[in-house]
């Protein structure tokens, strides 16, 4: 593109301005762009509530679709509702956080209706998400993704609390999940501004923004006994209309109620009778999450977190949202979302030679790891709470190399192949390191097993030869079999049949059960001595 101030061709030199001043005059004479007289076009209704409705409209100035919230026509003549509508836009506009819906503008149209505009989010509410196929209560991965959404909601609410604002209507229907992973807390229409954080000084808006400023007096005019919000998710103090007892713990309860619905698929209070729902909320009476869905096995730790957040006594809930969020993150890091299974003493958890499709974490009890060698059980080690097993078979997609049985009442958390690979980044460089370490462990274990088998065979041969030398009075050597059989079975923890099979596999000894004799032929002894002759 040619620069009008610095022409490069002779023809340009003749027609271009000769000085910067002339160029400035030329720019000033060019027509200024005109904005369309009507900024917003009439939109499509996308949501309706008890006090307002939201339209999808087009902004002709910025050339984009936005959401416009307008006060309901029935309420536009009542100053109390108008004031609350304006407060909602002011509070939301000052809560600048990645997980709180951004407000663009507020105004009043020619017909006298108040409105404010917000970011248009393409997606669905958390309520719709929980009812969709994307959310599977039986899937650990789905639960993990939903908890990531929940953590972002916690971030938004925690930020609002730092500005002295209580949402008071947290529920899945007021949480927006965008098509590209965005999460927004919506509908701050009944937000409550804590009295000790409000300010009448407009300069506070431009200081450190440690509180919310409202030019209409905040929510101080709200009367005790007013019950605002959604009954199905309310804390008792909110359901009783105890405005003086509201606090950040009120939102903590509602977050616990959202978590409750994530776990069970429905809110904590539900009944066909609406006033019965209110009575349940006032008393804080709800069925524990696990009892609400007895056909499912819910993560115990997550159920405890939800119940802690929803304790009827505000003093016994999480003291703040950050503590609640911390426990959720700790739950995710510790694998608390894994399903649990119980085993009685002596029951096999995994069997040698079986398919390796899961790994296990012991959460209670002790286990014995063993391997069958030559028909007898070789104990390898004991494991206790917090130890894991079965992981190498998953990484290497091989059969089990050992068996594990419960020594007492054992509870294990089960991690399937898909979940383990996702959590350990199987397709990344870290996953390759882990796979290489697992392969080296298997190779070392196999080498150790072969060496141990050779050593045990040699030791058994030496024991048998020593027994024949001390108790044989015949030539070729032979001795009673039954005393030795009893002693070796006790020593080796095997049955007489397994012991006989092991000894016969050595190819040096003959067992005659009918005559109760163990013998060794002269030729066999000669061959054995020649094979094991020491160098002079």
Go through the chain and tell me how many residues it has: 536
Cβ-based neighbours of 428, under 8 Å, separated by 6 or more = none
Collapsing DSSP to helix, strand or coil, 421 comes out as helix
Asked, as a colleague might, if the bond just before 476 is cis with ω within 30 of 0, I would say yes
> Above 80 in pLDDT, residue 3?
no
Does residue 193 or residue 527 have the better pLDDT? 193
Cβ-based neighbours of 327, under 8 Å, separated by 6 or more = 305, 308, 318
Check residue 168 and give its pLDDT: 94
Neighbours of 100 (CB within 10 A): 24
Extract the tokens encoding 272: 């066909």
Question: How far is 455 from 467, CA to CA, in rounded Å?
Answer: 18
Does residue 276 or residue 75 have the better pLDDT? 276
Question: How far is 412 from 361, CA to CA, in rounded Å?
Answer: 5
> Above 90 in pLDDT, residue 134?
no
Contact between 378 and 370 under an 8 Å Cβ cutoff? The reply is: yes
Strands, DSSP E only, in 386-509? 388-389, 403-406, 410-416, 478-480
Check residue 1 and give its pLDDT: 46
Most confident of 58-62, 211-215, 432-436, 468-472: 58-62
Task: Tell me the pLDDT band of 223, cut-offs 50, 70 and 90.
Answer: low
Compute CA 414 distance to the chain's CA centroid, rounded to the nearest angstrom: 15
Does residue 316 or residue 515 have the better pLDDT? 316
pTM value? 0.64
The single residue listed with the structure tokens 């405005």 is 243
Per residue in 14-66, pLDDT (tens digit) is 455 556 666 566 556 667 888 888 888 888 998 887 788 999 999 999 999 99
Task: Tell me the pLDDT band of 409, cut-offs 50, 70 and 90.
Answer: very high
Q: Which of 22-36, 225-239, 493-507, 511-525 has the lowest mean pLDDT?
A: 22-36
Question: How far is 389 from 399, CA to CA, in rounded Å?
Answer: 13
H helices within 397-428, ranges in order? Answer: 417-423
| Terminal-to-terminal C-alpha distance of the chain | 98
Integer CA distances (angstroms), 229 to 91, 161, 242, 468, in order: 17, 18, 13, 90
Check residue 462 and give its pLDDT: 85
Contact between 220 and 198 under an 8 Å Cβ cutoff? The reply is: yes
Per residue in 181-190, pLDDT (tens digit) is 899 999 998 9
Cβ-based neighbours of 455, under 8 Å, separated by 6 or more = none
Query: 157: exposed, middle or buried (C-beta count within 10 Å: 0-12, 13-18, 19+)?
Result: buried
Check residue 442 and give its pLDDT: 66
Question: How far is 288 from 366, CA to CA, in rounded Å?
Answer: 30
Q: For 444-466, what is the mean pLDDT?
A: 76
> Above 70 in pLDDT, residue 259?
yes
H helices within 137-176, ranges in order? Answer: 140-162
């Amino acid at each position: 593109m040619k620069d009008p101030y610095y022409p490069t061709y002779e023809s340009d030199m003749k027609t271009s301005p000769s000085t910067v001043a002339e160029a400035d005059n030329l720019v000033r004479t060019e027509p200024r762009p005109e904005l369309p007289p009507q900024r917003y076009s009439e939109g499509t209704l996308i949501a309706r509530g008890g006090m307002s409705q939201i339209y999808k409209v087009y902004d002709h100035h910025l050339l984009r679709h936005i959401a416009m919230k307008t006060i309901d026509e029935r309420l536009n003549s009542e100053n109390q509702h108008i004031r609350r509508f304006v407060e909602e836009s002011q509070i939301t506009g000052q809560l600048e956080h990645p997980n709180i819906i951004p407000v663009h503008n507020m105004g009043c149209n020619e017909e006298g209706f108040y409105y404010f505009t917000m970011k248009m989010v393409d997606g669905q509410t958390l309520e719709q998400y929980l009812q969709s196929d994307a959310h599977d209560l039986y899937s650990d991965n789905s639960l993990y993704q939903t908890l990531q959404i929940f953590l972002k909601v916690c971030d938004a609410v925690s930020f609002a609390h730092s500005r002295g604002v209580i949402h008071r209507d947290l529920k899945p229907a007021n949480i927006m999940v965008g098509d590209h992973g965005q999460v927004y807390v919506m509908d701050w229409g009944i937000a409550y501004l804590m009295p000790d954080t409000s300010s009448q000084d407009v300069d506070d808006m431009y200081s450190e923004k440690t509180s919310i400023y409202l030019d209409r007096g905040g929510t101080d005019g709200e009367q005790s006994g007013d019950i605002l919000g959604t009954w199905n998710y309310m804390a008792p103090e909110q359901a009783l209309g105890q405005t003086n007892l509201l606090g950040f713990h009120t939102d903590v309860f509602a977050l616990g109620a959202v978590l409750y619905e994530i776990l069970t698929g429905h809110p904590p209070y539900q009944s066909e009778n609406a006033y019965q729902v209110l009575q349940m909320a006032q008393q804080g009476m709800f069925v524990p999450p696990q009892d609400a869905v007895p056909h499912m096995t819910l993560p115990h730790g997550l159920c405890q977190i939800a119940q802690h957040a929803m304790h009827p006594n505000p003093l016994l809930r999480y003291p703040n949202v950050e503590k609640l969020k911390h426990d959720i993150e700790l739950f995710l890091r510790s694998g608390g979302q894994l399903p649990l299974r119980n085993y009685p003493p002596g029951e096999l958890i995994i069997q040698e030679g079986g398919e390796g499709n899961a790994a296990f974490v012991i959460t209670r009890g002790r286990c014995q790891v063993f391997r069958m060698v030559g028909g007898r059980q070789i104990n390898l080690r004991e494991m206790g709470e917090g130890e894991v097993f079965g992981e190498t078979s998953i990484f290497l997609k091989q059969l089990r190399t050992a068996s594990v049985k419960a020594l007492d009442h054992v509870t294990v958390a089960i991690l399937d192949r898909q979940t383990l690979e996702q959590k350990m980044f199987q397709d990344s460089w870290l996953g390759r390191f882990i796979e290489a370490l697992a392969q080296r462990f298997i190779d070392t274990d196999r080498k150790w097993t072969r060496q141990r088998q050779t050593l045990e065979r040699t030791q058994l041969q030496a024991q048998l030869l020593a027994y024949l030398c001390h108790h044989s009075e015949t030539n070729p050597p032979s001795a009673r079999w039954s005393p030795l059989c009893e002693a070796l079975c006790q020593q080796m923890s095997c049955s007489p049949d397994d012991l006989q099979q092991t000894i016969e596999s050595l190819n040096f000894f003959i067992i005659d059960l009918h005559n109760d004799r163990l013998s060794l032929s002269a030729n066999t002894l000669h061959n054995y001595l020649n094979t094991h002759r020491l160098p002079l």
